[in-house]
């Protein structure tokens, strides 16, 4: 059975990793159908389900109140040392607990944690990034280097839905801000996930003419970046997806978080969003 037609049940017993971002986070109080779908999926899929989230817009609002203009390099937020406490507070606190509340209201048992809790994933500060104007230091921005995510397995086995924010810890125990797509991808690799679902503001990858691209390989992703069809924040998202596919063989699908029916269609093996596979 091909990845393009298989249902969730046919994709293996690893957990489903669902990354939530964009307007889905902003309008979470009105997304009751989505939360019910996720809770139902966590119970029906043998490997359980894990939610990973960022919260860039919530962080932007806080930075605006503090009079700080956010900076990004290649779609990644620059995180100076003096801003990391506030970012941790928003992501691991306000946003994380509000999502746990959504899961609870939908009848699930959500547990809010960060990537650093229980040593789920090992992280390190990213190296300097090459730009047209020279090397750029992103500050307290991290990347996943490994880990077993054993705590997540334990929670799933006990019937819980782990809700993980994209805050990791370095070897010295200091917090790092990870791109949530990269965090979800790292978790998918560590847990050998049956699939990674990226819920975002758009229904999938589109070409310059605005036409949905239903299927792509990792090689296609790089070609679309070079051509300019994929740009901005979609670059780290799609590259993280391509890395998961290349390293694990698991399918990655990009879906609209505002259209929960698309998630249900995908679980049944019906066409929805953009599927990335080998």
Task: Indicate which residues carry an active-site annotation.
Answer: 19, 22, 56, 181, 237
> Considering only CA atoms, which of 240, 249, 238 is closest in space to residue 213?
238
Helix runs in 192-227, H state only: 218-227
Note whether 233 and 75 are within 8 A (CB).
yes
Task: Measure the CA–CA gap between 224 and 209, rounded to whole angstroms.
Answer: 13
Task: Measure the CA–CA gap between 194 and 183, rounded to whole angstroms.
Answer: 16
Is the dihedral angle over the CA atoms 117, 27, 29, 240 positive or is it negative?
negative
Chain centroid offset of residue 190 CA:
14
Structure token pair of residue 106: 């939908």
> Considering only CA atoms, which of 156, 200, 195 is closest in space to residue 181?
200
Task: Measure the CA–CA gap between 103 and 68, rounded to whole angstroms.
Answer: 32
Residue that is written with structure tokens 């010295």 in the block = 172
Task: Measure the CA–CA gap between 108 and 93, rounded to whole angstroms.
Answer: 19
Note whether 262 and 199 are within 8 A (CB).
no
- For residue 166, the tally of other CB atoms under 10 A from its CB is 32
DSSP character for 10?
G
Helix runs in the chain, H state only: 23-26, 32-44, 56-65, 84-88, 96-105, 150-157, 180-191, 218-227, 234-248, 260-267
């Amino acid at each position: 059975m091909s990845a393009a037609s298989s249902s969730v049940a046919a994709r293996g017993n690893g957990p489903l990793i669902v990354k939530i971002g964009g307007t889905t986070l902003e309008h979470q109080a009105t997304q009751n159908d989505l939360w019910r779908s996720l809770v139902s999926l966590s119970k029906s899929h043998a490997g359980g389900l894990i939610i990973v989230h960022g919260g860039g817009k919530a962080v932007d609002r806080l930075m605006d109140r503090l009079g700080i203009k956010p900076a990004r390099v290649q779609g990644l937020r620059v995180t100076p040392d003096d801003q990391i406490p506030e970012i941790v507070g928003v992501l691991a606190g306000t946003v994380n607990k509000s999502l746990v509340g959504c899961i609870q209201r939908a009848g699930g048992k959500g547990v809010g944690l960060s990537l650093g809790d229980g040593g789920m994933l090992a992280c390190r500060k990213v190296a300097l990034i090459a730009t047209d104007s020279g090397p750029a230091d992103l500050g307290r921005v991290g990347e996943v280097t490994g880990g077993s995510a054993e705590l997540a397995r334990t929670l799933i086995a006990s019937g819980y839905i782990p809700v993980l924010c994209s805050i990791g810890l370095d070897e010295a125990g200091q917090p790092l801000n990870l791109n949530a797509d990269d965090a979800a991808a790292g978790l998918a690799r560590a847990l050998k996930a049956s699939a990674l679902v990226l819920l975002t503001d758009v229904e999938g990858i589109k070409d310059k003419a605005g036409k949905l691209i239903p299927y792509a390989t990792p090689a296609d992703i790089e070609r679309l970046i070079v051509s300019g069809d994929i740009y901005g924040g979609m670059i780290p998202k799609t590259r993280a997806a391509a890395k998961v596919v290349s390293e694990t063989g698991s399918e990655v699908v990009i879906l609209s978080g505002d259209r929960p029916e698309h998630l249900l269609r995908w679980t049944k093996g019906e066409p929805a969003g953009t599927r990335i596979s080998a």
